[in-house]
Amino acid sequence: IVTARLTWVCPVNPRQRGFILALGCYENLNLLQPVVKHAKKEHCELGVAFVDIAKAFDTICHQHIIMGLVQRRVDPPIIHLVSKIYKNIITYID
């Protein structure tokens, strides 16, 4: 529900593979497989780059996320929910 409401006011890039209702990895592998098969068949060199902007939200101040939602006029209950998610979070690495 939260994703549906946020997507309405904050559209997601069509290349986005996380947090969407799609088989992102499956789609990506289906795009890559014929290219790899062709390179093997033709004995061509192939370079593939995977870009993963991991932990993107870790590099953004949580307050900026909340302010962005306010600027996009997201419903206050959703803003409150997102605020609660980011409040007093702690990470432990063992």
Per-residue confidence (pLDDT) for residue 13, from 0 to 100: 74
Instruction: Give CA–CA dist 86/64, Å, rounded.
Output: 12
Instruction: For residue 37, report the phi and psi dihedrals to the nearest 5 degrees.
Output: -60, -45
Confidence bin at 55 (pLDDT 50/70/90): low
pLDDT tens digits for range 2-53: 777 777 777 777 766 666 666 667 777 888 899 999 999 999 999 887 766 5
Name 81's Cβ contacts closer than 8 Å, sequence gap at least 6. Answer: 2
Q: Report whether pLDDT(57) > 60.
A: no
Per-residue confidence (pLDDT) for residue 7, from 0 to 100: 77
Over residues 84-92, the mean pLDDT reads: 79
Tokens of 50: 């995977």
